[in-house]
Amino acid sequence: MKLRALLLVIPMLAPAADLKIDHVTVAGKSLAVMEQQLSTAGLHFESGGPHTNHATEMAIASFPDGSYIELIAPQANYDPAALAAHHWSKFMEGNAGPCAWAVRPTFFDGEVARIRAAGLPVKVVEGGRTRPDGVPLKWKTGDLEGSVFPFLITDETPRQNRAFPSGKPSNRDEAGVLRVVIAVSKLSDALDRFHLGYGDAPRALRQVDQKFGAELAWIADSPVIFAAPLSADSWVAERITKFGEGPVAFVLSGKNKVKNAWGTSRWFGRDLTWFDPEKIGGWWLGVEE
């Protein structure tokens, strides 16, 4: 069989290093409360408006590289059935903080087909909302089963209208969302599952951070760091028990020295500064300088 024919029948694995973070999501009961909490980290949010699902509304902290932090909470006069059916309902009700992350593939339909060919189910869903200024937004998402995976997103209206409600980034002290930290019960199992969709990662590096309470595995040159609890009573273990495996922390790329720093870590040769988890809602947000 010729090489070209082989390429047509063998699914090509997208390396994890090619993953481009579109946005990350923080869930809670109240947008106003979350905005106030994250203002202590110097973040500025803009209202994004209610989604068309009759369940949720959002606010956005955008960055120069086009990525953003989305805050999501129940919208006013929400439909109880729609909210209960929402896949992030338990995160909103439990004020969980981090609950999801999205990547933006260059070719959405091709990436959906590739992942399905690799044996992973992907559910494609139409979505949208109208901004408070009346600008309509429409997109498609590809939802993968499994907590270690991001969801895919592509825009059917101009993306800048979604990422920059006022036409420019609302934050400039940080360049963007650099990494997603995913709590998992066992690192080897998480890496194996992730490799199903994004290929082998022989350069996955490991280290322990006692302060964070986890053993870490970083898929080198990618935005993905897995964190397995060091003990059954660590905050990472408690988080998994309450909400399951999934994102527990985000790391931003910083350009300036962090103000109101709470603590520091050194992950994989890089210095991180953390904001006070208690002040921002009980989860971890850091900046890699």
User: What CATH number does residue 252 fall under?
Assistant: 3.10.180.10
Domain residue limits at 151: 18-163
Residues 190 and 258 grouped into a single domain: yes
Assigned token pair, 72 = 């999501």
pLDDT attached to residue 165: 93
pLDDT attached to residue 1: 36
Residue 205 domain-assigned (yes or no) = yes
3-state secondary structure the chain: CCHHHHHHHCCCCCCHHHCCEEEEEEECCCHHHHHHHHHCCCCCCEEEEEECCCCEEEEEEECCCCCEEEEEEECCCCCHHHHHHCCCHHHHHCCCEEEEEEECCCCHHHHHHHHHHCCCCEEEEEEEEECCCCCEEEEEEEEECCCCCCEEEEECCCHHHHHCCCCCCCCCCEEEEEEEEEECCCHHHHHHHHHHHHCCCCCCEEEEECCCCEEEEECCCCCEEEEEECCCCCHHHHHHHHHCCEEEEEEEEECCCCCCCCEEEEECCEEEEECCHHHHCCCEEEEEC
CA distances 184 to 41, 164, 202, 204, Å, are: 26, 32, 19, 15
> What are the tens digits of pLDDT across the range 80-101?
999 999 989 999 999 999 999 9
Residue 7 domain-assigned (yes or no) = no
Residues 131 and 257 grouped into a single domain: no
CA max distance for the chain: 62
Residue 89 domain-assigned (yes or no) = yes
The CA distance from 236 to 94, in Å, is 16
Residues 143 and 218 grouped into a single domain: no
Q: What is the DSSP pairing of strand 246-254 with strand 205-209?
A: unpaired
Q: Note whether 220 and 199 are within 8 A (CB).
A: no
Residue 232 domain-assigned (yes or no) = yes
Residues 209 and 143 grouped into a single domain: no
Residue 10 domain-assigned (yes or no) = no
The CA distance from 139 to 158, in Å, is 10
Residues 114 and 239 grouped into a single domain: no
For the chain, which residues score pLDDT lower than 50? 1-12
Domain count for the chain: 2
pLDDT attached to residue 4: 39
pLDDT attached to residue 15: 65
Percentage of residues of the chain with pLDDT beyond 90: 76
Residue 11 domain-assigned (yes or no) = no
Residues 37 and 154 grouped into a single domain: yes
The residues, any chain, with a CB within 8 Å of residue 195's CB and separated by 6 or more, are 201
Across the chain, what does the average pLDDT equal? 90
The CA distance from 228 to 186, in Å, is 6
Strand order in the sheet with 136-144: 46-50, 56-62, 68-74, 21-27, 97-103, 151-155, 136-144, 122-130
Residue 44 domain-assigned (yes or no) = yes
Residue 149 domain-assigned (yes or no) = yes
